[in-house]
Structure 1
């Protein structure tokens, strides 16, 4: 008679099965030259999530402060798409990510997330120009939504509020109209 598994044994077995399943998925992403996701999307497909992460990182790249990926911006946006965005707005953003990836494949022969930063920037500038033209006609555009939610997500994250901005949980005296050169960069307070 085979011994019964305890919970720990069952979890170890399930972990092994998960590793066996994940290996071909990770290998396929790496073979396509795309980065491997370190998180599981709730509202996006893995390809959309990789495109989102790459676009967010180009909107707010890592410099002397953490970039959008390090701040968890793609995960934040995915959670918002899953539970907060209006369905039409969520679909517009998802469709925009699909379109951005399709344009990258058509123009550069590779997925957006696998392109070099300069090529990603060029495609995002094109999307921004389209968005600006749409805004002049008072029409919504997916890229303007993406840029806005990326900025909000970044500057409300801990790295964005404490490393990109100066965080002061208890601000001192109000000093209006202070030249930016005197304070260095913007402040975040609660």
Structure 2
């Protein structure tokens, strides 16, 4: 006799499955399980990227970087838009961030608590500031990471409409205004 699931049993089973995902993530060292396939990054680099993006633009009363797809945008930029040296610098920076996390705190960057992640990102930002003062200024992965993260976030619909003030039609539109109300037109 085969047993068939009714909707309630299927729902309870799916819910139980959802509860096990965080447990599996903790069992894997607290690393987030990727729900997308990286194009240019390794899985480890993508996990570091996700954690770093979320610390750069964390969830507050608006969605954070992960919720709006910033890591996927950055990965796609590395795969399709960045020049080879820029892409390699960003990837090496993500690997270096993870190496520093393991050396200082004994865990992958993505598995660290937010305070430790912030500490490492502040150190990377300080290092980028030093690189910028050299003659000639030297590029640093953190500047590219921060720029790609903010561009991706504020280009997303939630970033543009919830985090920023959004007015789809600024001001009143008045078409076909008589010329006598306007006067002469502008030269520049």
TM-score bucket (shorter structure): 0.7 to 0.9
Higher relative contact order (CA closer than 8 Å, sequence separation 6+): 2
> What is the aligned partner in structure 2 of residue 97 from structure 1?
94
Could you tell me whether the CA contact under 8 Å between 2:46 and 2:71 is conserved in 1? yes
Over alpha carbons, which structure has the higher Rg?
A: 2
- Matched position secondary structure for 2:145: helix
State how far apart, in whole Å, the 2-side matches of 1:27 and 1:145 are: 32
TM-score (norm 2): 0.75
Which residue pairs with 1:87 in the alignment?
84
Per-residue Cα deviation, 1:7-34 (whole angstroms, up to 9, x for no partner): xxxxxxxxxxxxxxxxxxx958842221
- Counterpart in the other structure of 1:37: 34
RMSD of the alignment, in Å? Answer: 1.6
Are 1:117 and 2:117 matched, yes or no? Answer: no
Structure 2, gaps ≥5 residues long:
1-22, 173-188
Contact (CA 8 Å) 1:30, 1:36: kept in 2 or not?
no
Q: Which residue of 1 aligns with 2:170?
A: 171
Query: For 1:168, what is the secondary structure of its paired residue?
Result: coil
Q: In the comparison of the two structures, how many residue pairs are matched?
A: 148
2:177 — aligned with what? none
Partners of 1:29 and 1:82 lie apart in 2 by 30
Find the aligned partners of 1:56 and 1:171 in 2 and give their Cα distance: 31
CA deviation after TM superposition for structure 1 residue 172, in Å: 1.5
**Cα gap change, 1:47 to 1:29, in 2 (>3 Å):** farther
Q: 1:164/1:44 Cα in 2 relative to 1: closer, same or farther (>3 Å)?
A: same
**1:44 touches 1:78 (CA, 8 Å); kept in 2?**
yes
